[in-house]
Structure 1
Amino acid sequence: MADFTFELVSPERLLVSETASEVVLPATEGEMTVMANHAPTMTTIRPGVVTVKSAGKVSRYVVFGGFADILPSGCTLLAESAVPVDEFDRTLIERRIEEARSHLDNGDHADEHKTRLEQFLSELTHLNGVLNPA
């Protein structure tokens, strides 16, 4: 299996810069698997988990939006916020959900803005279920 370069960058730090065989991204339109020789693509990223497979190991990272630039030779994900799953503070997502609910409930928003807030709240709630199973 061919490998490619993957980088995951957040405003705080470079989390990953390595050769990978496969990366699964939480793209806005659904999960997307990136492998070597992928067609050039740019996509937005929704809150979710990025899975990186390289050298027989699997690493997972929680991301809260951003965008990915995909080329045949590599993929760079610029995340709004990102952290390895094992370092993730589970209360952080609950706080973000409460902030989104509060913002949605305490404002007279245009329909488009309200729809985006509702979508973001739905994505956060789904991510919370993935990271904190009942």
Structure 2
Amino acid sequence: MSIVNSFCFELVSPEKCVFSGEVKSVVLPSENGDITILSGHSSVLSIIRPGIIIVELASGDVYRYVVVDGIADASSSRCTVLSENIFPVDELCIDELDNHIFKITYDIKSVDDVDHKSKLQQLLLDLSLVRDSLR
């Protein structure tokens, strides 16, 4: 019989706590590459890049969430990710994502404000990276 060390993981958006529970591991898309968090992990604070968070429970069940941005705070017994944009992969339709990308591409053409245009271009890039990681 194997003993699985678990830790508390929370995935939080401004609207709600998307996931909270004991997990075996979490893979995070950090700005320096993917990192796997396990029980006993050293403390780390990291910026989240667009990608997929993979959450594995002790039972072996796996949940996947698309994130566009965020911050992760991990310690030996807890990991919390805060992100404004969190989508469970099973609820995210690639066609829906493509529609958002198309709309933003169209909107960029009509924006004159340089700062606003820059933010839309960054969002377009982020969403494109997420879409590519789902294929």
Normalised to the residue count of structure 2, the TM-score between the two structures is 0.78
**Structure 2 unpaired stretches of 5+:** none
Aligned length in residues: 129
Distance 1:91 1:107 in 2: 28
Identical amino acids, percent of aligned pairs: 36
Q: Tell me the equivalent position of 2:57.
A: 54
Note the C-alpha offset of 1:103.
6.8
Structure-2 change in CA distance of 1:18 and 1:44 (3 Å): same
Paired residue for 2:67?
Answer: 63
Q: Which residue type is aligned with residue 68 of structure 2?
A: F
Work out which of the two has the higher radius of gyration on C-alpha atoms and give 1 or 2. Answer: 2
* Aligned ranges 1:27-46 → 2 under 5 Å: 27-46=30-49
Report which of the two has the higher share of strand: 1
Query: Distance between the aligned counterparts of 2:104 and 2:92, measured in 1?
Result: 19
The residue aligned with 1:89 is 93
| Alignment equivalent of 1:2, drawn from 5, 8, 11 | 5
CA distance in 2, matches of 1:23, 1:14: 16
The superposition leaves residues 34-93 of structure 1 with CA deviations (integer Å, 9 ceiling, x where unpaired) of 111111111111121110001221111111211111111110001111121111132443
| Conservation of the 8 A alpha-carbon contact between 2:28 and 2:35 | yes
SS at the partner of 1:38? coil
What TM-score, normalized to structure 1? Answer: 0.78
